[in-house]
Amino acid sequence: MASGRWFVVSAVVLGADQLTKWAAQRLLDPDMPLTVIPGFFALRLAHNTGAAFSLLADAGGWQRDLFIGLGVVVSLGIAWWILKLRPGERWTALGLSLVLGGALGNVIDRLRWGQVVDFLDFYYGTWHWPTFNLADSAITMGVMILIAVELFAADSKKRETRP
């Protein structure tokens, strides 16, 4: 089963995500960020009850079940998609595997703690990008790979149809 290796990629992402979140919760103080690159990057423990960029974080709690449900449905859909890929669709499989591992990492957080553990803080002066985690990074990279695959596929089709 060729798709099995892509589930291994997802499992590695999931394991690394959970390990880094465990370490962040054990080693970081929410009130005292650990500066890694002064003026640019710190490790800062944060918890997000919302979605990306804390969307719906103040919604009162109902969003937890919504995001768990969406995460599970999306994960099942991605797993099915990976199983249906042809052997030559390695980039698509890689992108989907990264998204799957990241999505499951954040679902596990919501199930265990009712929120997602974040700890990567990029900033400039007083401006901070929303704090995120390894799962978010894997999802972002996976989506970027999927977009690139589609863009190159569309470009390739255009060249094939030119006279």
At 78, the amino acid letter reads I
Which residues participate in catalysis according to the annotation? 118, 136
Q: Please check whether residue 133 is in contact with residue 119, taking contact to mean a CB–CB distance below 8 angstroms.
A: yes
- How far is 1 from 18, CA to CA, in rounded Å? 27
- How far is 152 from 122, CA to CA, in rounded Å? 31
**3-state DSSP assignment of residue 29:** strand
Q: CB count, 10 Å around CB of 90?
A: 14
Q: Which two tokens stand for residue 119?
A: 């700890």
Name the DSSP class of 89. -
